[in-house]
Amino acid sequence: MSLITYRQALHDTLRAEMLRDENVFLMGEEIGVFEGSYKITAGLLAEFGEKRVRDTPIAEEGFAGAAIGAAMLGLRPVVEMMTINFSMLALDQIVNHAAKIYGMFGGQARVPMVIRTPGGGGQQLGATHSQNIELYYSFVPGMKVVAPSTPADAKALLLAAIRDDDPVLFLENLALYNTKGEVPDDDTPAEIGRAAITRSGTDLTLIGYSRMANVASGVAAELADSDGLDIEVVDLRSLRPLDRDTIISSVRKTHAAVVLEDDWLTYGIGAEVAASISDGAFDDLDAPVRRVAMAEVPMPYAKPLETAALPSKDDVVGAIRQTLAAVGRRTAGV
């Protein structure tokens, strides 16, 4: 095991996969000479050369299309888009081509490509650079969408994404890049479509992904100390496919659930999770499923307003206390 940052885990995994398979190559905005806006690709141009680390113009539709063509011909491109916000310029290529080619051509062609892209607020980057729009892609059959919350999962899910024969959107939250964690030294890929129970419990199920999975773990630990609560934490890890079985199994055990996301509440990932719980564990619920999400506004630039718009630890604690109060269990804060 090695204690490294989320950023380092991504860098090391990209390098290892490029060494393992000569068909893996990188392309994206400023990933070569500048070594990436977030320094994930630092040193890779010098090591592998321009053929396998390719700087692209700021033309997302164009280089997404080029990556799709390369993937159809047997290469395994890993595309870095500077932020998920910019991926909207390539929406046609991703949704109408990458996601559909395998089905439209009757399995004669596959698109083994990865799109790595960060999102999330808290960095004072304004409304058009701070979004979590993973729902756009999680909605589309033919895509796979993963969202690791820890350095270990960043490595394991990136290994899985690069080796997968379908297009994978690999979500990174800007707030996670400098977080540290233990990362196994072996190269065992994760299973895309499999959630993780990161903390076992019986009082309530707390469900999140990416940054909010870490918030969930922190809140669960804090409430265990302050209130003696035994909260189970489910890290979704994969948004498409969604591991409904793990979610439902957990809620059947705890009889209560709170769902967390960094996106807007309306029509969000949390809504799909809540609907899945209703479908599979309705009779097991002792209280309505509550959801915690960001404010329904374009992300403000001013720091106090941006902080107020983002879902906070206090929001999560409040939702948990309200849920448990609804089932007749009083906590220290109620």
Helices 6-20 and 151-163: crossing angle in degrees, nearest 10, is 30
Point out which residues pair with 292 in neighbouring strands: 260
129 included as an active-site residue: yes
d(CA 332, CA 228): 9
Element (H, E) at 231: strand 231-235
Catalytic residue of the set 80, 129, 232, 306:
129
d(CA 300, CA 22): 43
Catalytic residue of the set 17, 29, 35, 60:
60
d(CA 219, CA 321): 12
d(CA 123, CA 121): 6
Residue type, 185: D
d(CA 137, CA 239): 9
* Distances, alpha carbon 201 to alpha carbons 169, 252, 289, 315, in Å: 31, 12, 17, 20
Which positions ≥6 away from 314 have C-beta within 8 Å? Answer: none
Q: Is 15 left (phi over 0), alpha (psi -120 to 50) or beta?
A: alpha
Any idea which residues carry the catalytic annotation? 60, 129
